[in-house]
Amino acid sequence: MSYGLDAVDRQIISILQQDGRTANVEIARRVGISEATVRKRLERLVADCTVRIVAVPNATKVGLATVTFITLHVDLSFLDRIAEQLGRSPEVRSLYYTTGESDLMVEAWFRSSEDLLRFLTHEIASIPGIKQAATSHVLRTLKDGSTWILPSESPPCVLVVDDDPDFCEVVRIALTAEGYQVVVASNGTEALAAMRVAKPDLVILDIMMKGILDGVRTSRAMKADAELRSVPILLVSSIHHTAFADLLPQARNLAAENFLPKPVEIPQLVAEVKRLAHRR
């Protein structure tokens, strides 16, 4: 069974691409999850053949400075047999079926041009079904597969719903610095409309906006909507410090994943955003 990558998987892979020896504890610290979660996710990614953790040698450093790409035009009835035979050659690093003028492409590493000549005249020439071979010798490697980084998906989107523009701006700056896309709305009505367009991964929702319990009504509307009910909601409000505190439903009756009272420390808010956005 194949699993889709989420934002946490991509962060783990990116860290290991930079240094495959990074300990699970260090990965957990950087991503903001537990070491056990990192271990389980890695086990799944490896078992699913999504990643392989291997050592990639530097061709020049290991004495294989003659790096060559060989394109082969073959009799298609021999294609699989040719590929199987070439795949057993220790000099062959990569092997591809291709379209266009060639049918196979081979990346092979050799100690010298003499070894390349021997490979062409003895091994390639002896394989039945090969009609034509062309070689391209690598003069200098500018970028190879070991330095390629998995492209990131669109950054997670957080919708901040609050009628305090200063709060919205502080949160926007903090979350943007963490790699999130941030959309802002000033009340529940605007927020519900924005969700249809932005498709947020998390909503940070004030309570007292266009009405004392505007945020509560908005959160309930989200949970009643089939398209929005899976979006995590983080309520952030100063209602406990007002005369309207008794109007707030008890925690178990709030249609939200968590509640943080204002004033809230930005590091605490960011940490909670990371936790809830990953659930999405």
Say yes or no to pLDDT of 3 above 60: no
Instruction: Report the side by side order of strands in the sheet with 66-74.
Output: 92-97, 104-110, 66-74, 130-137
- Phi, then psi, of 89 in degrees rounded to 5: -75, 125
DSSP 125: H
In the chain, what are the helix, strand and coil shares in percent, each to the nearest 5? 40, 20, 40
**pLDDT confidence of residue 8:** 85
Band the pLDDT of 1: cuts 50, 70, 90.
very low
Give the residue among 69, 247, 262, 236 at the shortest CA–CA distance from 161. Answer: 236
* Cα separations in angstroms, 221 against 195, 227, 229, 259: 12, 11, 9, 17
Which range is least confidently modeled, 11-15, 85-89, 266-270? 11-15
CA dihedral 80, 82, 88, 93 (to 10 degrees): -90
* Structure confidence by residue, pLDDT tens digits, 202-220: 999 999 998 889 999 999 9
Peptide bond into 263 cis (omega under 30): yes
| pTM, two decimal places | 0.56
CA dihedral 114, 116, 117, 118 (to 10 degrees): 90
